[in-house]
Chain A
């Protein structure tokens, strides 16, 4: 049961091969047995999951089941869930039980899905390895000495290990695509504004976007259809119809024009990752696509621009943690300033403090123009690079990350960790969608192919990824950890 896709599970539920309760119990049992070692969950909601599964089975018995009814999944612990601890991977929110649901959570529940719990993540989604979690690092199911990627590392590892068929993540600079690549699963970051951010704990509001992480593009299409759409409670969500993402999956790729950004194949790219990426691209040529080199000339300015914009927005967003309304509060504050300072010093981890300090510094008097305004100007140039290339080609392809998953503890230096995100960060600055699909291995560690498209081209990206998955079987590989512990 645990290595099936959502679409396969839905078919089995329909055919009466097993019930949602049986499926849920099976997966909860796996979580109970395996997650002590893996550490992919922060909270497992056993009772709520079984109650939701029973409700789904009752809906099905009445003949009212939809495509997602009774299907289990997990939520990154950044999504507010009513009555359930929502920690965002931080000591600051260790005792926070959300009084409301995120729009994504509400929509998934309305679609009949069964949430098994909340997954581990880098604190406040700041990180690329899941090592910044207050709840400890997550292991990569393919190789326990490797990181699962971040910040949605728990979601990626839980899917790869066969604990859930799918999970929700968020992506501010690569946090869905990079862990999907490192864990050998499929992860989609939608266009900025495609999915409501209401109830998603904010990191950098002009970059944050939620999306599905699953075994296949087909499953991601199913989930995106359920969570996308305009939401009056998020003024940055876009009022635009949601297409039938599953309907276009089967379209042939004849005539598809693929661009390979030369900057994504340059210095710093692991040769074995490059080889796997180029072999994956050759598959598309065999499916009738044409390939040409293109240029995104401002690529190397993306990380510097991001590390001004994201920390600036974070320093503002995280000012709400004041020890007064929710979250950690220090003992015996001497006065109000002491209450703020000590509550925040005790509640936030090292990387979060680093980004708050950078953001506060760059936004402070005398520095604003040189940093923030400059970065916002560069952001426009970076977006323009993409808009220009999409005049010439339909999609861009390249590696999701310059290396496969690195070792736990290997990147102690923050700047070298930041530079890992060279292929994913510009996508958030431009607001375009991107998907990572499994495309091979370096040793035991998976490689992800990243496919990028113009704003609101999710249907095309999912179609392109699905056709690749019809021609390859990388997405069907399972780590020994998941098999041995069946």
Chain B
């Protein structure tokens, strides 16, 4: 499955990764060769093989729905780039 410039731009947008056209062009060749290497998988017959998501086939453990964490908002917001009154600051979304 060949990869085109538009595919790279599409993935970059989905990943919210800013790439200008020149930068995207730089990735077309690299990503194309990675996908070519990955395409080797298509040669293998996997009919009827269940996908393996967890190496020990474990499933998510459930726990009681109880509050176990204390409020550490101030401490956790200390590493945030911009906060005010306990809120994260971002550019205005709704005018």
Contacts and interface: CB of A to CB of B under 8 A. Distances in A.
Interface residue range, chain B:
35 or more
Contact of A360 (B14, B51, B75, B88): B14
Nearest to B40: A304
Nearest to A238: B56
B78 A378 contact: no
B44 A301 contact: yes
B67 interface: no
B11 A377 contact: no
B83 to A, nearest CB: 9
B41 A301 contact: yes
Interface string B60-95: 110100000000100110111110000010111100
A307 B3 contact: no
Contact of A206 (B53, B81, B90): B53
B37 A415 contact: yes
A18 to B, nearest CB: 38
| Most B CB within 10 A of own CB, among A300, A301, A357 | A357
B5 interface: no
Contact of A357 (B8, B44, B90): B8
Interface in B1-59: 1, 3, 7-8, 10-12, 14-19, 27, 30-31, 33-35, 37-42, 44, 46, 49-56, 58
A315 interface: yes
| Most A CB within 10 A of own CB, among B3, B15, B27 | B15
Interface in A376-419: 376-381, 383, 413-415, 418
Contacts, number: 174
| Majority secondary structure, B binding face | loop
A337 interface: yes
Given A329-B81, A360-B11, A377-B51, A371 B38 contact: yes
B41 A376 contact: no
B56 A431 contact: yes
B56 to A, nearest CB: 6
A376 B79 contact: no
| Most B CB within 10 A of own CB, among A348, A364, A413 | A364
Contacts of B42: 370, 374
Interface in A429-447: 429-432
A315 B15 contact: yes
A300 B41 CA distance: 10
B18 A377 contact: no
Contact of B90 (A336, A345, A413, A430): A336
A235 B49 CA distance: 26
A96 interface: yes
A380 B52 contact: yes
Given A335-B91, A341-B18, A345-B17, A415 B53 contact: no
A327 B14 CA distance: 20
A338 interface: yes
A344 B38 contact: no
Interface residues of A, number: 75
Nearest to B59: A235
Given A357-B27, A370-B1, A380 B50 contact: yes
Contacts of B27: 353-354, 357
Given A324-B80, A414-B34, A376 B53 contact: yes
A356 B82 contact: no
B15 to A, nearest CB: 4
A81 B41 CA distance: 40
A357 B41 contact: no
Contacts of B63: 232
B51 A344 contact: no
Contacts of A370: 1, 42
A377 B17 contact: no
A455 B38 CA distance: 27
Interface in A321-367: 322-329, 333-342, 344-345, 348, 353-354, 356-358, 360-362, 364, 367
A381 to B, nearest CB: 6
A99 B17 CA distance: 27
B88 A380 contact: no
Interface of B: 1, 3, 7-8, 10-12, 14-19, 27, 30-31, 33-35, 37-42, 44, 46, 49-56, 58, 60-61, 63, 72, 75-76, 78-82, 88, 90-93
Which 4 residue pairs of A and B lie closest in terms of their CB atoms, listed nearest first? A431-B55, A376-B51, A341-B18, A345-B18
Interface of A: 95-99, 191-193, 206, 232, 235-236, 238, 298, 300-301, 303-305, 307-308, 315, 319, 322-329, 333-342, 344-345, 348, 353-354, 356-358, 360-362, 364, 367, 370-371, 373-381, 383, 413-415, 418, 429-432, 455
13 contacts: A206-B54, A301-B44, A305-B41, A307-B38, A324-B80, A341-B18, A344-B17, A344-B18, A358-B11, A362-B38, A370-B1, A374-B41, A431-B55
Given A375-B41, A414-B34, 19 more contacts: A99-B76, A99-B79, A193-B56, A193-B58, A236-B54, A304-B41, A319-B15, A324-B81, A338-B18, A339-B91, A341-B17, A344-B17, A356-B17, A377-B50, A378-B41, A379-B51, A381-B49, A415-B34, A430-B55
